[in-house]
Amino acid sequence: MFTGIIQHHGVIESFERLASGARLRLRTDDPEPFTHGESLAVNGVCLTMLPEPGGILAADLSDETLSLTTLGAMQPATRVNVERALALGDRLGGHLVSGHVDAVGTLVSVENESEFAVYRWSFPREFAPLLVSKGSIAVDGISLTVVDPDNSSFGAALIPETLRMTSLGEAHPGDRVNLEFDLVAKHIRNLVSPYLERKGGR
């Protein structure tokens, strides 16, 4: 489990396609050593870390991960957002993020307002019921507050710290991002959907 608060970043060292899946290697600016099998969210995708000599972190990516996220398009030297798993008792500064990506979205617009900015992303329409104004969403692993959602897009107001600390400060319209919708909203939808379907069938 993660929070969506990005305090470190990583840089892709290599991306190797295998007969099945792929192997990703990266470095982070986190000075604390990683243990074998530790979880790390990379652009919002929970991966199992396999430390190698020289400070390299390797991770194996399944075909499922490659098909549902943007990690399959990673190139060497790409900057990525990284977050270590939440420890019980830590402050939850963002929102509960599982690291399981629901869909890929696209940045459609950027409006700069001095040091601040308002970004807008598109998303698959079937996820529209999970977005509410002032609700939470993880974009490439970054916890953001939803602004002005509609059936196919949503906005978020970005503060200077977010633009500085994450890859969003270098983003451009057309860039694809990993989206994880609010975990609580997904559970509520699953709980109430049978009742809504029954009501709609009457």
Q: Taking a C-beta distance cutoff of 8 angstroms, is the pair 92, 83 a contact?
A: no
Minimum mean pLDDT among 21-30, 85-94, 165-174: which range?
A: 85-94
In this prediction, residues 97-120 reach a mean pLDDT of 96
CATH code, domain carrying 54: 2.40.30.20
pLDDT for position 189: 83
pLDDT at 195 over 80: no
* 37 and 109 fall within a common domain: no
Here the tokens at position 167 are: 């890859």
* Residue 195 φ/ψ, nearest 5 degrees: -70, -40
| DSSP three-state, residue 2 | strand
Q: Which of 121, 153, 169, 175 is nearest to 6 (CA)?
A: 169
* 77 and 111 fall within a common domain: no
Asked whether residue 201 is domain-assigned, the answer is: no
Q: Return the half-sphere exposure (C-beta side, CA atoms, 13 A cut-off) of residue 162.
A: 21
pTM of the model: 0.92
pLDDT at 198 over 90: no
pLDDT at 158 over 60: yes
Which pLDDT band, with edges at 50, 70 and 90, does 88 fall under?
Answer: confident
Here the tokens at position 156 are: 């978020």
Q: Which domain holds residue 34?
A: 8-84
* Residue 84 φ/ψ, nearest 5 degrees: -75, 160
Percent of the chain predicted with pLDDT > 70: 97
Asked whether residue 68 is domain-assigned, the answer is: yes
pLDDT tens-digit profile of 39-63?
999 999 999 999 999 999 999 999 9
Which of 55, 84, 113 terminates a domain? The answer is: 84
pLDDT tens-digit profile of 8-19?
999 999 999 999
* 109 and 181 fall within a common domain: yes
The DSSP H or E segment spanning 66 is: helix 63-68
pLDDT at 201 over 90: no
3-state helix, strand, coil in the chain (%, to 5): 25, 40, 35
* 116 and 159 fall within a common domain: yes
Asked whether residue 29 is domain-assigned, the answer is: yes
Number of domains in the chain: 2
Q: Which of 187, 189, 191 is nearest to 96 (CA)?
A: 187
* 125 and 74 fall within a common domain: no
Q: State in Å, rounded, how far the first CA of the chain is from the last one.
A: 40
Here the tokens at position 95 are: 């929102």
pLDDT tens-digit profile of 55-85?
999 999 999 999 999 999 999 999 999 999 9
pLDDT for position 91: 81
DSSP state of 173: T
* 145 and 78 fall within a common domain: no
